[in-house]
């Protein structure tokens, strides 16, 4: 774990290195993914089956390519009541939050008499990637599928890796609850390629969303343009801004909540109290000793964890904006003030009783968020990722006479006489 202080002479350079550390795919990953995608495009199902045997250690022809809807329904019915209720609560809150994001169509006539507007429509089909390797996440399925359904997507396709052919019943239960149309027993870059290009078995989709490992993220990056994507997701991140009025073990638990995802995840604490920073560091060690995911979490904390001592929380917004973290917790007396000064963050969690983990499951906002400083220019998954806007224009003779001459002048200036002529012939010129 790296310990920094804004009081130290070398802080600026050390902090720049933290900000610049991408912790993401190397060149060889990009090359491998390009080869995989080329194989899927050329050989379709045969390539998908070959890569599944190689990476997930099972034969799709034997274990089955597609998981039946009845299996998903049975998995949901078999859940313990408290777990079923938890999934239903999460689904209801996610649905309600995303329903409020739906955009409105526009249709109006401006002062020149020109009718203008836009119509929002959902894409026809969406592919949802649900991780299933290091851990299986039914919450990710809900976070991807429900906004798509709210947006009006007609065909929802889930791909999820099943190592050894084994499926996670919680993922199947979530697929049933979200009314997913298709669940395919494939994962990795080859699954993303199948969704984008289509195969004999798997029809192509228009948008691919959902988190995955470095190979999945790289596949989405390379396929952008063939399909739409939500974002290129990297390792998980959490930035906690906390004062000494917090219990150290709570902040330690928050830091480890992201560290346990992957050894490349990053957890950062900013505090104005050096003694509190020491207490949190000790609490992290205590929490790790009792954590079932300690091996992963410790690797993440040791390699990527950072504690930053500041002289005042007035310094925190600039640091947070430079980091542009996926998750930002603000556990201070006046979290609202700091939040308003932080321009770049995937999602913000306000107050001492708002752990990031509640946002991963039941709060309502999406937990698919920009990582790797991409919160500077992108947002978390929303219904808009599954929709597109079509503008429309209508003019009558009077409206064309009002604005047409300006268009003719611009077309002439750009050296495009046919553009100008298409307007002039309607103006009687």
Q: Which residues are annotated as a binding site for substrate?
A: 236, 258, 261, 327, 360, 414, 419
Our answer to whether residue 82 is catalytic in this structure is no
* Binding residue positions: 236, 258, 261, 327, 360, 414, 419
Q: Which of 58, 98, 190, 327 is catalytic?
A: 327
- Per-residue buried b or exposed e for 170-186, using 16+ beta carbons within 10 Å of the residue's own CB: bbbbbbbbbebebbbbb
Strand order in the sheet with 266-271: 2-5, 306-309, 266-271, 237-242, 327-331, 347-350
Q: Which residues contact 325 (CB under 8 A, 6 or more apart)?
A: 237, 238, 239, 268, 345, 346, 375
- With beta carbons less than 8 A apart as the criterion, state whether 101 and 383 touch: yes
DSSP structure string for 22-69: -----HHHHHHHHHHHHHHHHHTHHHHHHHHHHHT-S-HHHH-SEE-H
Considering 218, 237, 326, 329, which one is annotated as catalytic? 326
The pair phi, psi for residue 347, each rounded to 5°, is: -155, 145
Residue 187 is encoded by which pair of tokens?
């994962």
Catalytic residue at 98? no
Binding site feature residues for Zn(2+): 258, 261, 360, 419
Rounded alpha-carbon distances, angstroms, from residue 322 to 48, 76, 171, 379:
40, 43, 36, 16
The residues annotated with a catalytic role in the active site are: 326-327
């Amino acid at each position: 774990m790296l310990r920094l202080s804004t009081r130290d002479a070398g802080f600026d350079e050390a902090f720049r290195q933290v900000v610049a550390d991408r912790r993401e795919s190397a060149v060889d990953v990009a090359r491998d993914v390009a080869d995989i995608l080329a194989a899927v495009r050329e050989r379709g199902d045969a390539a998908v089956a070959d890569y599944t045997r190689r990476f997930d250690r099972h034969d799709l022809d034997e274990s089955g390519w597609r998981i039946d809807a009845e299996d998903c329904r049975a998995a949901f019915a078999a859940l313990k009541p408290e777990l079923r209720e938890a999934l239903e609560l999460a689904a209801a809150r996610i649905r309600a939050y995303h329903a409020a994001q739906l955009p409105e169509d526009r249709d109006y006539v401006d002062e020149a008499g020109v009718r203008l507007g836009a119509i929002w429509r959902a894409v026809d089909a969406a592919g949802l990637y649900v991780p299933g390797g290091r851990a299986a996440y039914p919450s990710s399925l809900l976070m991807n599928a429900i906004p798509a359904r709210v947006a009006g997507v007609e065909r929802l396709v889930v791909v999820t890796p099943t190592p050894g052919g084994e499926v996670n019943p919680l993922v199947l239960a979530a697929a049933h609850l979200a009314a997913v149309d298709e669940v395919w027993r494939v994962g990795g870059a080859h699954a993303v390629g199948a969704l984008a290009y289509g195969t004999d078995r798997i029809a192509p989709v228009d948008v691919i969303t959902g988190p995955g490992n470095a190979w999945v993220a790289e596949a989405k990056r390379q396929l952008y343009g063939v399909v739409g994507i939500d974002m290129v997701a990297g390792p998980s991140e959490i930035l906690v801004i906390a004062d000494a009025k917090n219990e150290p073990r709570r902040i330690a638990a928050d830091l480890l909540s992201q560290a346990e995802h992957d050894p490349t995840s990053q957890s950062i604490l900013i505090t104005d109290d050096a003694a509190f920073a020491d207490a949190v560091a000790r609490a992290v060690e205590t929490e790790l000793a009792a954590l079932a995911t300690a091996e992963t979490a410790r690797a993440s904390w040791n390699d990527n964890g950072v504690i930053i001592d500041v002289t005042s929380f007035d310094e925190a917004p600039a640091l947070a904006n430079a980091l542009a973290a996926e998750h930002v917790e603000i556990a201070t007396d006046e979290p609202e003030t700091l939040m308003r000064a932080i321009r770049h963050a995937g999602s913000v969690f306000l107050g001492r009783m708002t752990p990031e983990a509640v946002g991963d499951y039941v709060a309502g906002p999406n937990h698919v968020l920009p990582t790797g400083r991409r919160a500077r220019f992108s947002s978390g998954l929303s219904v808009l990722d599954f929709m597109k806007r079509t503008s429309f224009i209508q003019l009558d003779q009077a409206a064309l006479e009002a604005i047409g001459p300006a268009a003719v002048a611009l077309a002439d200036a750009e050296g495009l006489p046919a553009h100008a002529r298409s307007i002039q012939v309607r103006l009687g010129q």
